[in-house]
Amino acid sequence: MGKKLKAIHYLNQFFGQIGGEDKADVEPLVKAGPIGPGVLFQELFGGEVEITATVICGDNYFGEHMDDAAEAVLAIIEGYRPDVVVAGPAFNAGRYGMACGAVCAAVAKRLGIPVVTGMFPENPGVESYRKDVTIVETKATTAGMRDAAQLMTRLALKLARKESLGAPGEEGYLPRGIRRNTFASETGAARAVAMLLRKLKGEDYVTEYPMPVFDRVAPLPPVERMYEITLALITSGGIVPKGNPDRVESSSATKYGKYNIGGLKRLSPESHETAHGGYDPTYANEDPHRVLPLDVVRDLEQEGAIGKLYPYYYATVGNGTSVARAREFAREIAKDLVRDGVGAVLISST
């Protein structure tokens, strides 16, 4: 066997044997070796992993000084250069769960060291950190300590050995809501026919992609006095100034562009083009108005049908661009528009 792998354990003041609620203001401190539940963890790790130190912090201190506390804990952990960090388990203790989640997330992100914690699914720490942290599902109370310790040490060992984890159901951790590619033993076609036969026979089958539930945005009431409002143009059809100055990607866009059209009456094939890789660009490049209708909107402005046109338009490419990314774009753009008193937006897609 090679050299021993090193683990650091994070605990709150109670499990760290400093004291109860009266000691919840204790600042981060470190003790050598395993403490409290750490003794059980060490026993389960056996000889391959050694808990070299335990970092302890009061739940109130952590909750009230989130950033400072996380920094201090991170600094201590970094000094030990561990192979894995375990935190908790926090069961259904909310403040403790948040602290375990924050410590683990910081360690994973900033130090690139694998982390494992354990919580009851309703602990608020789960909702906040499940995306970034491996969280083992535990019971609500310390009655679940041994089960939690067993799962946590098993996963910690795997991660310390740099092995990849199996699916959440097999390994006992809470789904992170992440889709990750992996290879099956059969082709997609074989899996499809097998799944259909089970479905037809009324047998159990597991869909490989449970349908997500989309946000539904309730439409606002119609704009009453269009002739008074400022109208803005947004497109996901990729119309950008010729040469694509912001290099908006042809697919899976990571950005959007904001372009001045304050003085512009018309678009032309010389001035604009599409960056979109998901449709036949011939016609949009021939006449960019087919995707971004500046011509018609300018006419409406001239006729007084709308108050005025906002002097910028926003463009991105909606080709394979993730919903999460699109939501980020929308938040930023909406902030601009609300600030500048825009009353209506025309969004053209392709």
Partner 1 sequence: MVLELGRIPIEAIEWGAKTLIEGTVLHINRQELLERARQGDSRITGVQVDIARPGESVRIIPVKDVVEPRVKVQGKGGIFPGLVSGVETVGTGRTHVLQGCSVVTAGQVVGFQEGMIDMTGPGARYTSFSRLLNVVLVVDVQEGISRHDHEEALRLAGLRAAAYLGEAGRHVDPARVERFEVRRLLEAKPPATDLPRVAYVYMLLSQGLLHDTYLYGRDVKMLLPTLILPTEVMDGAIVSGNCVSACDKNTTYHHQNNPIIQELMARDGIDLQYVGTVVTNANVTLRDKMRSSEYAVKLLEMLGADGAVLSKEGFGNPDADAMMTCSKLEERGIRTVLLTDEFAGIDGASQSLADTTPRADAVVSVGNANEQIILPPMGKVIGDIRVIEKMAGGQSGCLVEGEIRAELQVVMGATNELGFETLYARGE
Q: Which residues bind partner 1 (CB under 8 A)?
A: 131, 165, 167-168, 175-193, 195-197, 199-201, 205, 207-212, 214, 247, 249-252, 254, 276-282, 318-325
Which residue, among 71, 146, 162, 159, has the nearest Cα to 115 in the 3D structure? 159
- Coil vs helix vs strand at 292: coil
Supply the minimum distance, in Å, between the C-beta of residue 105 and partner 1: 14
Supply the minimum distance, in Å, between the C-beta of residue 179 and partner 1: 4
Q: What's at 337, amino acid-wise?
A: L
Phi and psi at 89, nearest 5°, equal: -70, 150
The DSSP code for 164 is P
| Cβ atoms of residues 250 and 319 within 8 Å | yes
- Identify which of residues 95 and 130 has a Cβ nearer to partner 1 in the complex: 130
| Nearby residues of 166 by Cβ (< 8 Å), 6 or more positions away | none
- Identify which of residues 79 and 175 has a Cβ nearer to partner 1 in the complex: 175
Supply the minimum distance, in Å, between the C-beta of residue 217 and partner 1: 15
Separation CA 81–CA 3 (nearest Å):
14
Question: Where do the DSSP E strands lie in 198-271?
Answer: 230-235, 239-241, 257-260
How many other β-carbons are positioned within 10 Å of the β-carbon of residue 171?
14
- Identify which of residues 47 and 214 has a Cβ nearer to partner 1 in the complex: 214
Supply the minimum distance, in Å, between the C-beta of residue 244 and partner 1: 9
Supply the minimum distance, in Å, between the C-beta of residue 325 and partner 1: 6
- Identify which of residues 83 and 249 has a Cβ nearer to partner 1 in the complex: 249
Dihedral of CA 320/324/325/326: which sign?
positive
- Identify which of residues 1 and 324 has a Cβ nearer to partner 1 in the complex: 324
| Cβ atoms of residues 33 and 7 within 8 Å | no
Supply the minimum distance, in Å, between the C-beta of residue 308 and partner 1: 32
